[in-house]
Chains A and B, each alone.
Chain A
Amino acid sequence: QQPVQSPQAVILREGEDAVINCSSSKALYSVHWYRQKHGEAPVFLMILLKGGEQKGHDKISASFNEKKQQSSLYLTASQLSYSGTYFCGTVDNYGGSQGNLIFGKGTKLSVKP
């Protein structure tokens, strides 16, 4: 089953924060986050493995709540370069470390000056 992302779209001013959520009906092994700018390929951001770890780089971080089968992506002090569509991809427990990703439909983030 395809994970559900929310919100579908969000508009921010530079410097504002945003949270993007990804929810699955299946028990998950891992959650992957990607960003895609208009007309370009998706670019890998990070992977979170089951165990509830939180990861981040720069001002983008993420958490994974294994029990709730949810992940959240946190963008703090947003910059114009953060604009794009964010996708979560999930691997269920059956797939394990090399399981195939099932992607959500994406969240379109627009950062305005």
Chain B
Amino acid sequence: GIQVEQSPPDLILQEGANSTLRCNFSDSVNNLQWFHQNPWGQLINLFYIPSGTKQNGRLSATTVATERYSLLYISSSQTTDSGVYFCAVLGGTASKLTFGTGTRLQVTL
């Protein structure tokens, strides 16, 4: 099956800093989503982005499908951005969403 790797695994930022999270995948994908999991376990959809670039406030994402990677940019980070960020893909003929290993982000004052 398709493999999804995320980097870095852990990230500590001071409030106001910018960061870039990366997601690499091993095969072509039909769907790619970025999620933020809050401390209560809720997976919140940030972007549905199988290709191209999207922006939503301080967050933006870019997927380069031909090179099999996606980037999530967080600008002017806030403490509420803390949590785990997951990349998940739907590849080939599969109907299941496969998750990456996650990036744990901690934003400090």
Chain B associates with chain A: no
